[in-house]
Amino acid sequence: MLRIIMLPAIVCLVGASGWTQEYGRSSTYKIRRIIGQVPPRPPILGPSKIEDVQTMVGGTFIELQFKTTHAVRGLVLWTNRSTGVAGSRMTANGKKHKLLVENLSPDSDYRFQIYQLPIDPLPVDLHTHEFQRTTLQKNVTCFVENIYMLDDSDELSAGEFFFNFILGSKDANFNESGNAWDAFGTPLVSIHSGTNLALMPAGITNVLSADNVHSPDLKFAVSAFEDDGLDGFLGLPPRAPKPDLYVGSYDHGVTETNSGFLLTNISGSALTPNANTPQKRESLNKSFDLYVPPSSESDLSYAISGWIVVSYAAPNQ
């Protein structure tokens, strides 16, 4: 006889909860479906432009400001178009950028290039920018204020003198005429030992100047010619030497000469290093004292005081 045996069905459900139902036991089962989050599509960025480029130009510096569309670092390259001397600097990350380039050469053409360097990769077109600037000319002025006579080398009366004042570069040969930037000679003046002569109140020219100077150093020189009344004794007008002639020291008995000079550096962006602006730092306005001691050839001794001024300007200003 055929028997049919029925077994209870086994149902196995597996869900997110890991719970099972078996042998017909009844319970509520909840299926949870986990769906991962899809990141939003990044915004489409426009090109990063370099805009609002502004410059302040001096004789040895150029201050640069510009803006970029996106936050980047700016890479600035510059080249002296005459010498080929080049340099580079970077700005901080941001949209507003400012950079000071110093120790440039006066009266020189510079080519500038600006590049953008993002901190993180940017899916944008990074624009570049190029421009040219010309630095200002360097001008030098020397004011001779006072002559103080220490020894006029004349025991009987005041010495009678011509003074030559000469301005030029460090390597200029003032022993030959024609090598100075500027020069002037005084008329015949009478000065006792222990007294001084202020040039401007006496109506004597007291300014030496030179425009568009390229030399890194300045030489200021003075020569004193003691006439001792020889021309007057001979009934001749006083004979002044060439004003740009430096003659050293000698004693010809009735005429005597003694000379001296000083050197001053006038290059770079730090002639006045503690000043608070680049314009003031590159400029110079300082007093000087030049002492000319007696020599083995001459007892004549004196001191010169004055001012040296270095400034910058565009041509014809």
What's CA 273's distance to the chain center, in Å?
10
CB neighbours (10 Å) of residue 303?
17
Provide the pLDDT for residue 29.
52
HEC assignment per residue over the chain: CCCCCCCCCCCCCCCCCCCCCCCCCCCCCCCCCCCCCCCCCCCCCCCECEEEEEEEECCCCEEEEEEEEEEEEEEEEEEECCCCCEEEEECCCEEEEEEEECCCCCCCEEEEEEEEECCCCCCCCECCEEEEEECCEEEEEEEEEEEEEEECCCCCCCEEEEEEEEEEECCCCCCCCCCCCEEEECCCEEECCCCEEECCCCCCCCEEEECCCCCCEEEEEEEEEECCCHHHHCCCCCCCCCCCCCCCCEECCCCEEEEEEEEEECCCCCCCCCCCCHHHHHCEEEEEEEEECCCCCCCCEEEEEEEEEEEEECCCC
Contact 67, 95 (CB under 8 A): yes
Over 50: is that where the pLDDT of 12 sits? Answer: no
Q: Which domains does the chain have, with CATH numbers?
A: 50-135 (2.60.40.10), 138-313 (2.60.40.150)
* Confidence band for 30, pLDDT divided at 50, 70 and 90: low
Round to whole Å and give the CA distance between 304 and 220.
11
Between 91 and 16, residue with greater pLDDT: 91
- Which residues touch 264 (CB under 8 Å, ≥6 apart)? 217, 218, 220, 288, 308
Please compute the mean of the pLDDT values over residues 23-48 and round it to a whole number: 61
Over 50: is that where the pLDDT of 16 sits? Answer: no
- Token readout for 174 is 């003032």
pLDDT in tens, 216-266: 999 999 999 987 655 544 544 556 678 888 888 888 766 789 999 999 999
Please compute the mean of the pLDDT values over residues 137-146 and round it to a whole number: 97
Provide the pLDDT for residue 21.
45
pLDDT in tens, 271-288: 999 999 999 999 999 999
| Predicted structure pTM score | 0.78
| Average pLDDT of the chain to the nearest whole number | 85
Provide the pLDDT for residue 153.
82
Locus of tokens 């990063």: 48
Over 80: is that where the pLDDT of 23 sits? Answer: no
Provide the pLDDT for residue 28.
55
Provide the pLDDT for residue 121.
77
